[in-house]
Amino acid sequence: MKKQYDYNLIIGAVLTVTMLFLILLGCFYTPYDPDAMDSAAKFAGVSLKHLMGCDQFGRDIFSRVLVGLGTTFYVAFGTVCIGTFAGIILGAVTGFFGGVVDEILMRITDALFAIPSILLALVVISLFGSGAWQVMLSLGIAFVPSFARIVRGEFLRLKDMDYVQSARLAGAGKMRIMFVHILPNMRAVLLSTIMIGFNNAVLAEAGLSFLGIGVQPPQSSLGRMLSEAQGYIFSAPGCALFPGIVLVLFVLGFVLLAEAFQERKTV
């Protein structure tokens, strides 16, 4: 168990740091303008000039991967922030106070939880239009029920612990008990949940952009690149191969870190 935890942590950290480095690099530098078209470089192969070749419009794939990875990251990051913040508030209130408040709010979250996140995101996008911010908002709303259920379960487990009772006897207020005494003691579960949620957000964004209802041109994301490359999968596989590999490695890094945190909790 310990050795498996170490492997997951090390490999996950290396992959995640590498992807974050590429995201940071794409914020300040790309070898070419990611949207610049060059008819002479259409479907150019891998070379020192174009590290991942060029796509059907002669755009440098490496430059587009750097920018697209950053787009996918900030959409997923914003999604997790919305889902985590709202989920923590909702789960903490329902788990700590219980009673009628718990019944009403959890029935609402159960109803939302019964709807697949992608379907719920499609409803929000149909109301507010497609684009990066719309995807972020729609997925964030869709992720709230799952975060709320996990936080509620942890609050139900921890609210009667001895240290919580001691805080009550010491005169600590309810808000202090909830967010100073209980919440920090569920950090391992929260970190694991956030990383799993981040993975789901990355895949959901990629899926929506692949279907053409997520990030819109000329803005690039990994899902958008895969969508544009699907017609050339046999004639120019590099157009889909490189964004696909980066997407898999990006998700794999956070999956391994999430597993490492889960194993740490059980050790």
CA atoms within 13 A on the CB side of 211: 15
Contact criterion met (CB below 8 Å) for 257 and 20:
no
113 to 30, 109, 125, 145: CA distances (angstroms): 40, 6, 18, 6
Question: Cα(213)–Cα(140) distance, rounded to whole angstroms?
Answer: 16
The tens-digit pLDDT sequence of the chain (267 residues) is 555 557 788 888 899 999 999 999 999 999 999 888 888 888 888 888 888 999 989 999 999 999 999 999 999 999 999 999 998 998 888 888 877 777 787 777 777 777 776 777 777 777 777 777 888 888 888 888 888 888 988 888 888 888 888 888 888 888 888 888 888 888 878 888 888 889 889 988 888 888 888 788 778 889 889 988 888 888 888 899 999 999 999 999 988 888 877 766 555
Domain architecture of the chain: domains with CATH: 2-27+59-266 (1.10.3720.10)
Question: Cα(64)–Cα(35) distance, rounded to whole angstroms?
Answer: 8
